[in-house]
């Protein structure tokens, strides 16, 4: 509706050749907006208000204007930014919107810095006196009065009283007719500036601080022009308290007949008028959605910082030395000139020698140096002209625009009150938004984390009101008696909710949980033994209804395990849960008076693991079969063949081990013989016998080496045979 009105209004304005403009007059801080005396005042009372749960509210004002007029609306200073961001002004009968005027707000620090005494940074007294150097000051202490010109202020470390540590004592130094005098500021009783203008500036600065603090409201003037009597409208958004909800749920009296009355739901919206305007007979809408909203400082003037550039100054010429090193001297001077001028601006220039104009015959080389100095000045000036300090501002503005264009508003649900509402300023109200029966029944709830001994009394509610119920507290009344409080989350149309409000002391329950593990299947996949393991999580909830008169409807929650499936449920419970979501199952059981019941839920999760086939034995595999694991004869036969191949490998390894042991014994005996040979006569028979034995052992070692080599080759072949067999072995 608002969009179509805006489009039609813009079309009328363009057809008339008029364009609405917003003007900001120049005025001092905290002065009311200038009003045109030739335009009468227009009354635009608040007609419609829409409150959102994102902390904002939309206000619509409307009225009529005859000819020209000004509508003046007062806002709190902190609301002006929202008004400048969201204000929509419409002349619905073809008139023109001349502009929106308001008092500007210069930053306090900038205003204070413009006075003769700068107190924008809240300076201390010594700092103020230091800023007044050169001014005449009279200081009165307990025993004297000193008048002089302020030279400066300082702090001196001194021992005060019986203190053992030094403290900083402030002093002001004055130049008097008797000489330079330092006065301890801690002993001063009063100060007086002899310069009346400075006194007046200080008073103005302090008045500006007080004015800024007390300036709490601003007037926005909307100027209309046109002929005849016309309807005008303005809409704006600013911060507002989040509207809240609270509910009452009245359970019907228990009856003996089969049909029970439905519970009565009563909902209230809690609305606060924290504005300075009375809301009188306004059409109020309450929105459950939360549109995206942000703040931006559009009210306070923004001053950008501009760079300070050095004034181009011609370089002083120095007499040149005319010798063969003149080129070197020329380069050095140009480099020094560039450093002195350009470094002040923090720019980078090419230090290469600029090209000089062609010299006339007989002209001194110093003229080339003068030409270079002029060229360097030109480089500085050209760079200054080409510098664009606003480039970053434009980039920042573009980024803000892009970010704002990306915001979206989601779907919302309106509560629109059928009758006008009146709420005085700074007052609150409770407004009825729901009053009707709702589908619901009494239940006892065993929560997912409850471990006993009692469940909670509660209500299972289905939202068949046709409305979206906003999260809030619920007071439960059982018949004529207060039963307890519950909390309700956001509930869409048709959704179910469990509300618990008290302990059901007539019902006891226990929750037991156990985990079982079982290998269900064994097979061979690519030479690996794959085992399927079933993990069973068993939850048993035992319920004992000790109420002698009333049965119970028990709703028990069981946590849902990741990757598991529900396979069984127990006695007095349906074969399937009544409700389920991503995190839990809900089971329902009807337990008669003075009766017991169990709810049993079993969840299974299958895990598959693999292991090296040869790490097992036939006996181990057969043992798994006796525990119920599925193990085929084909798997056993394939495993036995692999064991045979492994046995061949083991035989070769045993042979190699035996041959290695024999060779080791011979080697150790040879070491003993070599030690003995060194200590006996070479011409003795014993020496000859040892040499002969050593030779025979060498022959044995060579034979063993050959046999070991052959055995290793056989072992490698057997290992390769097993590897090839297992590589493609897959048996169910």
Domain boundaries, position 263: 244-277+421-503
Tokens of 666: 């011979």
Helix (H) or strand (E) holding 433: strand 427-437
Q: How many domains is the chain built from?
A: 6
Nearest CA to 286 out of 235, 246, 244, 247 is that of 244
CATH of the domain at 141: 2.30.30
Sorted by sequence, the CB contacts under 8 Å of residue 122 that are 6+ apart come out as none
- Flag whether 363 is in a domain: yes
Mean pLDDT for all residues in the chain: 78
Rounded distance, CA 715 to CA 723, Å?
12
DSSP E strands, 274-410: 279-287
pLDDT tens for each residue of 669-685:
888 888 888 888 888 88
DSSP string, 240-255: -PPPEEEEEEEEPPP-
List % helix, strand, coil for the chain (3-state, nearest 5).
30, 35, 35
Across 84-88, 380-384, 396-400, which has the greatest mean pLDDT? Answer: 84-88
Angle at 605 between CA 600 and CA 608, to 5 degrees: 155
- CA atoms within 13 Å, Cβ hemisphere of 209: 13
Give the angle subtended at the CA of 40 by the CAs of 39 and 46, to the nearest 5°: 120
Say yes or no: 622 and 514 in one domain: yes
Same domain, 527 and 487: no
**Can you tell me the distance from the alpha carbon of 298 to that of 402, in angstroms, rounded to the nearest whole number?**
17
- Asked, for residue 94, whether it belongs to a domain, the answer is yes
Q: Judge if 189 and 268 occupy the same domain.
A: no
* Whether residue 453 has a cis bond before it, omega within 30° of 0: yes
Q: Which residue has the tokens 């090419």?
A: 350
In a domain, 312, yes or no: no
Determine how many CB atoms are found less than 10 A away from the CB of residue 199: 14
* Same-domain pairing of 89 and 233: yes
Measuring CA to CA, which residue among 312, 347, 354, 313 is closest to residue 331?
A: 354
pLDDT band at 36 (very low <50, low <70, confident <90, very high): very low
Taking only the tens place, the pLDDT of each residue in 447-485 is: 988 887 999 999 999 999 888 898 999 999 988 899 999
Percent of the chain with pLDDT over 70: 78
DSSP state of 491: B
Contact (CB, 8 A) for 642 and 725: yes
**124 lies in some domain:** no
Q: Which residues contact 192 (CB under 8 A, 6 or more apart)?
A: 137, 138, 140
Which residue in the block uniquely carries the two structure tokens 């009783």? 189
pLDDT, mean of residues 115-120 = 78
Of 338, 368, 386, the one marking the end of a domain is: 386
CA angle 391/397/400 to nearest 5° reads 145
Does an H or E element contain 694, and which?
Answer: helix 685-727
Per-residue pLDDT at 167? 86
pLDDT of residue 127: 86
Is there a single domain that holds both residue 450 and residue 489? yes
Residue in this structure with the two tokens 């900001």, named with its chain if needed: 24
601 and 540 housed in the same domain: yes
Q: Look up residue 319 and give its DSSP letter.
A: P
CATH of the domain at 545: 2.60.40
Whether 80 and 223 map to the same domain: the answer is yes
DSSP secondary structure string for all residues of 459-489? EEEE--SSSPBPSEEEEEEETTEEEEEEEE-
Say if residue 455 is in the same domain as residue 566: no
Distances (CA, A) of 285 to 131, 241, 269, 272, 430: 58, 14, 11, 13, 14
Task: Assign 337 a pLDDT band (cuts: 50, 70, 90).
Answer: very low
Q: Based on the fold, state whether residues 516 and 615 are members of the same structural domain.
A: yes
pLDDT tens per residue across span 586-617: 999 999 999 999 999 889 899 898 888 888 88
Instruction: Please check whether residue 593 lies inside any domain of the structure.
Output: yes
Q: Which of the four pLDDT bands, split at 50, 70 and 90, describes residue 569?
A: low
Provide the greatest CA pair distance for the chain. Answer: 150
Half-sphere exposure of 346 (CA within 13 A, CB side): 3
Contact 249, 376 (CB under 8 A): no
Assigned domain for 51 exists: no
**pLDDT of 279 above 80:** yes
On the question of pLDDT at 142 being above 90, the answer is: no
pLDDT tens, residue by residue, 394-427: 233 223 222 222 222 345 677 888 889 999 999 9
Tokens of 679: 């200590």
CA-based Rg of the chain, rounded to a whole angstrom?
Answer: 49
CA distances 658 to 655, 672, 707, Å, are 5, 22, 11
Domain-located, residue 290: no
Residue 37 has pLDDT above 70, yes or no: no
Instruction: Pick the more confident residue, 428 or 729.
Output: 428
Q: What is the pLDDT of residue 570?
A: 55
> Residue 104: which of 276, 302, 394, 275 has the closest Cα?
302
| CB-based contact 82:6 (threshold 8 Å) | no
Tell me, yes or no, whether 381 and 449 share the same domain. no
Query: Residue 381 and residue 20: Cα distance in Å, rounded?
Result: 43
Question: Which segments within 177-256 are labelled E, that is strand?
Answer: 179-184, 188-193, 217-225, 229-239, 244-251
Q: Residue 707 in 3-state DSSP?
A: helix
Structural element, H or E, at residue 84:
helix 80-86
DSSP string, 355-405: PPPPPPTT--THHHHHHHHHHHHHHHHHHHHH--TTHHHHHHHHHHHHHHH
Residue 305: inside a domain: no
Among 486, 430, 442, 490, smallest CA distance to 463 is for: 490
Shared domain for 716 and 677, answered yes or no, is yes
Same domain, residue pair 594 and 672: no
The per-residue pLDDT for range 485-536, each reduced to its tens digit, is: 999 999 988 999 999 999 999 999 999 989 988 888 889 888 898 888 888 8
Query: Which position has the token pair 């002001």?
Result: 172
């Amino acid at each position: 509706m608002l969009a179509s009105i805006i489009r039609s209004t813009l079309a009328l304005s363009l057809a008339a050749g008029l364009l609405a403009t917003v003007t900001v007059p120049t005025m001092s801080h905290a002065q009311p907006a200038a009003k045109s005396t030739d335009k009468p005042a227009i009354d635009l009372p608040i007609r419609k208000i829409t409150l959102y749960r994102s902390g904002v509210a939309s206000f619509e004002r409307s009225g009529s204007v005859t000819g020209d007029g000004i509508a003046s609306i007062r806002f709190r200073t902190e609301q002006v930014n929202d008004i400048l961001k969201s204000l929509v002004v419409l002349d619905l009968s073809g008139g023109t919107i001349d502009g929106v005027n308001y008092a500007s707000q210069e930053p306090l620090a900038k205003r204070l810095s413009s006075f003769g005494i700068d107190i924008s940074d809240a300076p201390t007294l010594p700092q103020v006196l230091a800023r007044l150097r050169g001014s005449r000051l009279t200081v009165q202490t307990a025993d004297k009065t000193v008048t002089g010109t302020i030279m400066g202020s300082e702090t001196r470390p001194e021992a005060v009283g019986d203190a053992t540590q030094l403290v900083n004592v402030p002093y002001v130094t004055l130049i008097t007719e008797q000489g330079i005098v330092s006065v301890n500021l801690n002993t001063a009783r009063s100060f007086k500036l002899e310069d009346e203008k400075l006194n007046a500036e200080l008073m103005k600065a302090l008045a500006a601080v007080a004015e800024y603090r007390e300036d709490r409201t601003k007037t926005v003037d909307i100027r209309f022009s046109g002929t005849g009597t016309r309807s005008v409208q303005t809409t704006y958004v600013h911060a507002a308290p989040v509207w809240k909800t609270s509910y009452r749920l009245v359970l019907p009296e228990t009856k003996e007949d089969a049909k029970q009355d439905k519970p009565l739901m009563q909902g209230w919206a809690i609305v606060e008028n924290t504005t300075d305007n009375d809301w009188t007979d306004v059409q109020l809408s309450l929105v459950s959605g939360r549109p995206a909203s942000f703040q931006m400082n559009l009210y306070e003037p923004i001053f950008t910082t501009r760079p300070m550039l050095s004034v181009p100054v011609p370089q002083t010429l120095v007499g040149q030395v005319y010798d063969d090193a003149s080129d070197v001297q020329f380069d050095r001077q140009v480099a020094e000139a560039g450093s002195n001028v350009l470094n002040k601006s923090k720019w980078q220039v090419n230090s290469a020698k600029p090209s000089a104009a062609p010299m006339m015959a007989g002209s001194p080389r110093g003229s080339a140096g003068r030409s270079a100095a002029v060229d360097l000045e030109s480089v500085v000036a050209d760079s200054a002209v080409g510098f664009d300090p606003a480039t970053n501002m434009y980039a920042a503005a573009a980024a803000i625009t892009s970010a704002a264009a990306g915001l979206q508003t989601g779907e919302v649900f309106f509560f629109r009150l059928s009758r006008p509402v009146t709420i005085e300023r700074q007052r609150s109200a409770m407004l009825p938004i729901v009053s009707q029966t709702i589908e619901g029944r009494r239940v006892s709830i065993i929560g997912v984390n409850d471990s006993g001994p009692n469940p909670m009394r509660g209500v299972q509610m289905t939202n068949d009101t046709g409305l979206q119920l906003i999260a809030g507290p619920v007071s439960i009344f059982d018949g004529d008696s207060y039963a307890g409080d519950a909390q309700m989350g956001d509930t869409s149309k048709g959704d179910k909710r469990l509300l618990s409000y008290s302990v059901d002391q007539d019902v006891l329950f226990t929750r037991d949980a156990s985990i079982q593990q079982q290998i269900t299947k064994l097979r061979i996949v690519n030479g690996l033994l794959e085992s399927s393991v079933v993990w069973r999580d068993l939850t048993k909830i035992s319920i004992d209804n000790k109420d002698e008169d009333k049965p119970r409807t028990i709703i028990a929650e069981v946590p849902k395990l990741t990757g598991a499936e529900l396979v069984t449920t127990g006695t007095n419970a349906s074969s399937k849960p009544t409700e389920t979501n991503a995190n839990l199952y809900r089971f329902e059981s009807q337990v008669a008076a003075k009766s017991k019941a169990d709810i049993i839920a079993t969840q299974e999760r299958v895990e598959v693991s693999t292991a090296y086939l040869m790490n097992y034995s036939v006996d181990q595999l057969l043992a798994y079969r006796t525990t119920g694991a599925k193990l085929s004869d084909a798997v056993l036969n394939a495993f036995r063949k692999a064991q045979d191949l492994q046995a061949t490998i083991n035989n070769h390894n045993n042979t190699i081990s035996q041959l290695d042991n024999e060779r080791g014994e011979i080697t150790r005996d040879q070491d003993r013989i070599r030690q003995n040979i060194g200590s006996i006569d070479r011409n003795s028979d014993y020496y000859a016998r040892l040499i002969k034995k050593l030779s025979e052992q060498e022959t044995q070692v060579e034979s063993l080496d050959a046999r070991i080599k052959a055995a290793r080759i056989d072992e490698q072949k057997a290992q390769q045979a097993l590897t090839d067999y297992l590589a493609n072995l897959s048996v169910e």
